Structure 1
Amino acid sequence: MRAVELFAGAGGLAMGVSLAGFKSLAVVEWDKWACDTVRENQRRGYPLVNGWPLHEGDVRDTDWSAIPRDIELLAGGPPCQPFSMGGKHKAHDDKRDMFPATVQIVRTLRPKTFIVENVKGLTRSSFANYFEYIKLQLEFPEVPRRAHESWFDHLMRLQTEKTSGRMHETGLTYNVTATLVNAADYGVPQKRERVFIIGTRSDLGIDWHFPEATHSEDALIHAQWVTGEYWDRHKVAKRDRPLPPKKLLRRIQALTLKKPTALPWRTVRDAIADLPDPRTRVASTIRDHKFQDGAKVYPGHTGSPLDQPAKTIKAGDHGVPGGENMMVLPDGKVRYFTARETARIQTFPDGYVFHGSWTETMRQLGNAVPVALGRIVASSVAQALVESELRRLDAQQSQKSKKAAA
């Protein structure tokens, strides 16, 4: 199955797509440092990215003539700063809003499916109309915005089109599903909430549903405070185990009566337990595992507890935002995550290296889609595509059999 990746960054979603069995026909990213990261891994022969046709440049300037129409998947995470909780919240007034470009590429390539990822801030009430506008543009890519037409007037026209139902009968349309996802619920050691917008081409009859969560906070609480299995696995002596938080006592009591069926949320400790302390000499032998001094706690920025999934890894405008992307040690002190620890939290494999300074690497990681989550979502789309194709072949064979019998 063929795929094109837009806004690929350091390759998180694109690697997930590759792991799901798709072959990349084009991987597009404008940022030089992120492209250097991909090129460095290609130079080192890293298998997942080795065959990627990397295009450094703006997706709006990319020549798509060599890409066949009807590819199986278009995937990408348009720049999220216009909708980020920590950004300037300009949305459609922000020049970095790449949703219009994404819609244009959907219109050009007519992919069978698409995966679009973005920040939770997109779902805020202040962006409600624009979020609806994004989804309707993706549903009806052949109803483009007219010259001098405001985005809101275009929204009204798209809503009228949807109500009429004409395009679903005659033109290129997609069944679009938007889901807010917490990465921790899928085995990523990070409480990272993101919106996934999945589109399946209407004429193909693809039956797709977002994958069910596999991990839960209840299961982590059970492993830590009911059975103690979590502490046993990490060889934490009983005298060194923290007391359960008072706010969890009722939940712990309830969980003693009913064990959760899901797997436990993965924690920071789960992710980095086998990495040496970056302040030790042995850490210098591990790529991207260098200690960075200067981490400080201040209101609203208190770091990630060791025995919980990490808080959302953030990019910041120029690398690491102050007070973020740091870990709370058992003695209450804090330190910054190293780039390798952050890569673990973002589920990049250890063999994948990063190009640039620590702050530049952390920016790339903060912008990335966790590889494991990308694989899960892309695999569900791949399965739906295969099932759709099998149904088409069965129907074709049935039709031949009927003609032969007649």
Structure 2
Amino acid sequence: MTSTASHQSVLDKPFVLDLFAGPGGLDVAGHALAIPSLGIEWDRSACLTRYAAGLDTLHADVSAVRRDSFESLPPEINVLAGGPPCQTYSVAGKGAGRKALDEVKKYIERLMAGDPDRAIDKDLKSLSDPRTALVLEPLRYAIQATRSQNRGRRPYDVIVLEQVPAVVGLWDHYEKVLEETGLPDGTRYEVVVDVLDTETYGVPQTRRRAVLIARRVGLGGPALPPPSHHAYEAKEWNRRSDDAALRVHRPPEAHQPTLCDGDTDEGGTPEIVERRTTDPDEKRPWVSMGEVLAARVGTHAGRATPFLVRSNYGSSGIPGRRGVRTDRQPAATVTGRISRFVVFEHLDEKVVREGARFSMNEAGMLQSFPPDYPWSGTAQAQQVGNAVPPLFGAHLLSAALGLPAPTPDLMRKPWQPATEEQRAKLRSHGCGAADTCTARCPRPEDQKSVPASE
């Protein structure tokens, strides 16, 4: 459910094309907002999850669909969305994309000038990592829409993009050319770009994303979604050491961890602290792991609190220091390493219960997926980490379309998986057969080089 405030969508019948759709974060958001969508996804396992969830899907290469079968896409699509693979741009990767940012900007200029696709494709082969060029695909789709006979040469009305913060410079360049240069047919957009914190939209984890929202000129200027929750600010919490359940946890010096994001006392040792309860500007407090995981819902039996979580990656950019948070804090950024996080009971790293890792259901819930989302196939932890947090996606779509902001409990109801008949129908459409991939699907050996979006 969304809020009851009076709003009128900028579009009569929004229909989303989700590029690099992953396991369905943005499509789940659309489903919750009663907005139809079609996702294009390369990774076989992510598509299996999407079919199981009942999401309309094409198991295909985004670039190949644009080149070879764009005319077969539903002409009703009027919203373009996507999160291109970010591995080459991410600070966690080797950084080929960051080094190529200026070069990619030159390709943006060439696309807007109307350079032939064949010439651009030939030159893009010189990039050291082919995934770097995928950040151009949303723009190439926007241009292709103005050339499509199937759509009557009609441009997309709304564009919504999200990526890792390192790509904000490219989104800024997108903004410049969409507003000042316009597409080759003359279509111009009004655009907003920023880096947003997902916990300020009710997602129970700290995660930063560079977002772009564009509306075609004439539909009214877009706005970023207003934050609904407070940012995670450890230094502003009220410290409380007299509660036995919130005792300061000081493990032995030999393996002493530190809390993520600088959550330490002045001496550098971890301290359990109490959330701020004041609400001067009517924003809600950020959502903690315990708030999401403690209660029994659907098949989730509920996780006993208090608990402590040690992440698999370093704190403050130092790999040797594993970040630690308690159930009263939001999760650290959920990535494909979420299955390696260790969960300790009673705020004591010596007390580990059976099944100490997060289940995939719990990992999905920390991403704000509904409970019982049907994770399928292999590399499920990577699917979870790659996904757009659905609640965050719902805020983006609502802002882009002028809809009321979603309520915090939008994703709390257990997901109803597709029936076997529905799965078979979706896979027949997405893969070409009811129970298997076909020759038109990306080959597994090719998928190793371009995994699902992160």
TM-score, with length taken from structure 2: 0.60
Q: How does 1:147-296 map to 2 (within 5 A)?
A: 162=180, 167=182, 171-202=186-217, 204-217=218-231, 225=238, 238-242=243-247, 246=265, 259=280, 261-274=282-295
Q: How does 1:244-393 map to 2 (within 5 A)?
A: 246=265, 259=280, 261-274=282-295, 299-315=320-336, 320=337, 325-327=341-343, 329=345, 330-332=347-349, 335-357=356-378, 360-383=379-402
Distance 2:377 2:184 in 1: 50
Q: CA deviation at 1:113?
A: 0.4
Kept after mapping to 2: 8 A contact 1:77/1:116: yes
User: Cα 1:30–1:239, aligned 2, differ >3 Å: closer, same or farther?
Assistant: same
Given the alignment of the two structures, is residue 96 of structure 1 paired with residue 131 of structure 2, yes or no?
yes
Alignment correspondent of 1:106: 142
Q: How does 1:52-131 map to 2 (within 5 A)?
A: 52=56, 54-62=57-65, 63-67=69-73, 71-91=77-97, 92=100, 93=127, 94-97=129-132, 98-109=134-145, 110-123=155-168, 128=169, 130=170
Corresponding pairs, count = 312
Q: What letter corresponds to residue 351 of structure 1 in structure 2?
A: D
Q: CA deviation at 1:362?
A: 0.6
Given the alignment of the two structures, is residue 11 of structure 1 paired with residue 46 of structure 2, yes or no?
no
Aligned-partner SS, 1:336: coil
Deviations 1:79-119 (A, max 9, x none): 01121110111114331121222211111222100111101
Deviations 1:19-43 (A, max 9, x none): 223212x31101000001111223x
Distance 2:212 2:288 in 1: 27
Aligned-partner SS, 1:102: helix
Q: What letter corresponds to residue 361 of structure 1 in structure 2?
A: Q
Greater Cα shift, 344-353 or 169-178 = 169-178
Kept after mapping to 2: 8 A contact 1:306/1:327: no
User: Cα 1:321–1:89, aligned 2, differ >3 Å: closer, same or farther?
Assistant: farther
User: Cα 1:214–1:336, aligned 2, differ >3 Å: closer, same or farther?
Assistant: same
Distance 2:79 2:295 in 1: 36
User: Cα 1:321–1:206, aligned 2, differ >3 Å: closer, same or farther?
Assistant: same
Q: CA deviation at 1:219?
A: 9.2
Tell me which protein shows more helix as a share of its residues: 1
Deviations 1:178-199 (A, max 9, x none): 1101000111100010111111
User: Cα 1:177–1:327, aligned 2, differ >3 Å: closer, same or farther?
Assistant: farther
Q: What letter corresponds to residue 32 of structure 1 in structure 2?
A: R
Q: CA deviation at 1:270?
A: 1.1
Q: What letter corresponds to residue 58 of structure 1 in structure 2?
A: D
Deviations 1:1-35 (A, max 9, x none): 212111110000121123223212x3110100000
Deviations 1:271-326 (A, max 9, x none): 211259xxxxxx9x759x9xxxx9878623334432211110112xxxx379x644
Higher relative contact order (CA 8 A, sep 6+): 2
User: Cα 1:352–1:168, aligned 2, differ >3 Å: closer, same or farther?
Assistant: closer
Kept after mapping to 2: 8 A contact 1:303/1:328: no
Distance 2:142 2:322 in 1: 39
Distance 2:277 2:230 in 1: 16
Kept after mapping to 1: 8 A contact 2:172/2:193: no
Q: CA deviation at 1:69?
A: 5.3
Q: What letter corresponds to residue 377 of structure 2 in structure 1?
A: G
Q: What letter corresponds to residue 114 of structure 1 in structure 2?
A: I
Aligned-partner SS, 2:402: helix
The root-mean-square deviation of aligned C-alpha atoms, in Å, is 3.8
Distance 2:324 2:228 in 1: 26
Identity of aligned residues (%): 24
Greater Cα shift, 56-65 or 332-341 = 332-341
Q: What letter corresponds to residue 283 of structure 2 in structure 1?
A: A
Q: Determine which structure has more spread, i.e. the larger CA radius of gyration.
A: 1
Which of residues 24, 34, 39 is equivalent to 2:46? 34
Distance 2:44 2:191 in 1: 32
Alignment correspondent of 1:22: 35
Kept after mapping to 2: 8 A contact 1:219/1:263: no
User: Cα 1:246–1:134, aligned 2, differ >3 Å: closer, same or farther?
Assistant: same
Q: CA deviation at 1:258?
A: 7.7
Q: What letter corresponds to residue 160 of structure 2 in structure 1?
A: I
Q: CA deviation at 1:217?
A: 4.3
Kept after mapping to 2: 8 A contact 1:185/1:265: yes
Aligned-partner SS, 1:96: helix
Q: CA deviation at 1:225?
A: 3.7
User: Cα 1:194–1:37, aligned 2, differ >3 Å: closer, same or farther?
Assistant: same
Q: What letter corresponds to residue 139 of structure 2 in structure 1?
A: V
Unmatched runs of 5 consecutive residues or more in structure 1:
43-48, 141-161, 232-236, 277-282, 386-406
User: Cα 1:116–1:259, aligned 2, differ >3 Å: closer, same or farther?
Assistant: closer
Kept after mapping to 2: 8 A contact 1:20/1:382: no
